[in-house]
Amino acid sequence: MGSPKYTIRRPLESDRQQWESLWQSYVVFYQSTLADDITTVLWQRIHDYQHPIMCFVAEQAGTGEVIGFVHYFPHPGTWHNKFVCYLEDLFVSPEIRGGGIGEALIKAVTDEAKKAKLGRGLLAHQGAQQCCQGTLRQDYRRNRRFYCLPSGI
């Protein structure tokens, strides 16, 4: 097996332009627009370790290009007294999809949720599930297991 073609890591301040390009593509996918200040505040929140919104990026090996991201955050559960992990946004550059980058980003979030001992599995909003089904055009059942994991991930 060859060396990985990407690295999953926390975003650096210097990733802003590449992340924002992917972010804008993600927003366009949902046929939406956002004011610039919303994007600016999101980027600030990602780097504010006192804020609950967190992010991982996928970096292409050899080039250093940011090719994907995932945003997530813990929040109180309604069915128990523990926090759960909520996957808000997941995007991989369309030119590079199909190589397991989305799965690796989700795994990074799942690993963080396990370390934090969150009470439930990884949850995602309906839009993220539709994105997974619509843009990846792969077996939805295979991908969905990452979105709604059983208790005790």
* C-alpha triplet 108, 149, 125: angle, nearest 5°: 80
> CA gyration radius for the chain?
15
Provide the 8-state DSSP code for 142.
H
Domains of the chain from N-terminus onward: 6-147 (3.40.630.30)
Mean pLDDT by 10 residues, the chain (153 residues): 81 98 95 96 96 96 96 85 87 93 92 81 53 38 39 38
Q: State the pLDDT at residue 130.
A: 44
Q: How many residues does the chain have?
A: 153
Q: State the pLDDT at residue 2.
A: 57
Q: State the pLDDT at residue 75.
A: 85
